[in-house]
Amino acid sequence: MKMPISEIADRYAIAILKKERANADNSKEIFELSNEIEKYPNIDYYIDKLIEINGKIWDLESDIRKGKEEELGLEEVGRRAIAIRGFNKIRVSYKNEMVNLYNEGFEDIKMNHASE
């Protein structure tokens, strides 16, 4: 099965962030993903939104990933987890819009999930 454009776009957004923020040497990955993305009209809006939303998630997760929970305190970690859940809901909605727009892949449907 071919990877749907919603997943390609999300991977591309994350690859861009890795290059910008972590100075990752992932030019080949970005090149390959961008070649696929170019096949889809009017996708720039979704790419920009996925880069923005994934960036916000990364910002919130950064100190937690670095093991700074004690410095942040459990209350702040909890606040960040709730914010991350909200941003992930938005991220999934953009991906689902792409599924419907390009008639490719499957919608991500959350059942009995607080972010519904």
Rounded to whole angstroms, the Cα distance separating 102 from 107 reads: 12
Other beta carbons within 10 angstroms of residue 26's beta carbon come to 16
Mean pLDDT of 105-113: 78
Q: What is the DSSP letter of 3?
A: P
pLDDT reported for residue 51: 98
What's the confidence (pLDDT) of residue 69? 84
The encoded tokens of residue 77 equal 């970690």
Q: Which run of H or of E encompasses 31?
A: helix 27-37
Q: What is the pLDDT of residues 48-85, one digit of tens each?
A: 999 999 999 999 999 888 888 888 999 999 999 999 99
The mean pLDDT of 6-18, rounded to a whole number, is 98
Task: Mark out the alpha helices in 40-73 (DSSP H runs).
Answer: 44-65, 69-72
Q: What CA–CA distance (Å, rounded) separates 112 from 116?
A: 8
pLDDT level of residue 101 (50, 70, 90 thresholds): very high
Name the nearest CA neighbour of 83 among 58, 47, 108.
58
